[in-house]
A and B are shown apart, each in its own frame.
Chain A
Amino acid sequence: SQQGEEDPQALSIQEGENATMNCSYKTSINNLQWYRQNSGRGLVHLILIRSNEREKHSGRLRVTLDTSKKSSSLLITASRAADTASYFCATKRKRNYKLSFGAGTTVTVRA
C-alpha cells in the first residue's frame, strides 16, 4: 500500500531555478527517504531524515520533515539539466524492514 504521496505529480523549471516537491504520509514513521530515478533506470538514494530530525542538507538538496503534519519537502537549489528525473519519497515505519514508496514527482529542467 502507498504510504507516501508526492505533490506535484510533475514539475517543469528553467535551469538555475529551485525545485520543490512535497510528500505526505499517513502513519508514524522511523525515517523518511528521498530517491531519484533517471528514465528507465533503478532508483538512487539521495537523503534520509530520521523522525527526530527537522531538516537535513546534502549538497544542493534540502529536506524538511514535519511529523505533526506528516509531511516532508525536498528542495533542489540551482537546478541543472542532469536533475531531470523522477523523485520518490519513501517512508519506513518502526519495527518494519519495508519502505513504502509514493508515485513520484517527475521533474524536467529546461536548458
Chain B
Amino acid sequence: DVKVTQSSRYLVKRTGEKVFLECVQDMDHENMFWYRQDPGLGLRLIYFSYDVKMKEKGDIPEGYSVSREKKERFSLILESASTNQTSMYLCASSLSVYEQYFGPGTRLTVT
C-alpha cells in the first residue's frame, strides 16, 4: 500500500526559528511536492522536485527552501519562520503524470 509520511502532525515554533518539515515516501516515485493549505485558498504549491537534487519553484516559494538528497525524502525548510507561515503543510508524491499521494499533513503554528 502506498505511503507518504510526514515527520510531525502538529508543530509550534517561534518567530525567527529555522523549521524543518520532513516527508518520506515508500513508492519509489520520482516526483515530490510541498503545498500549503489555507482556508479559502485551497492548496498552493511551494516547491516540487522531479528527481534527486532537482527542484523547481512552485507558486509561492518565498521564505522557503527544499532539499532532496535521497529519492524517498523531501524536506521543506523555513529559514526564519514568520507568523504568516502558520498553515497546514502537505507533502505529496507521484509517478509521472498521474495522481498524487498525500501525507497526513503538518499543522504548523508560528507564534
Contact = CB atoms under 8 A, between A and B. Distances in A.
Do the two chains belong together in a single complex? yes
Interface of A: 1-2, 30-31, 33, 35, 40-45, 48, 88, 90, 92, 97-104
B48 A43 contact: no
Interface residues of B, number: 28
Contacts of A92: 97
Contacts, number: 56
Interface of B: 4, 31, 33, 35, 40-45, 48, 50, 58-59, 88, 90, 92, 94, 97-105, 107
Contact of B42 (A41, A98, A101): A101
Given A92-B97, A97-B31, A103 B105 contact: no
A56 to B, nearest CB: 13
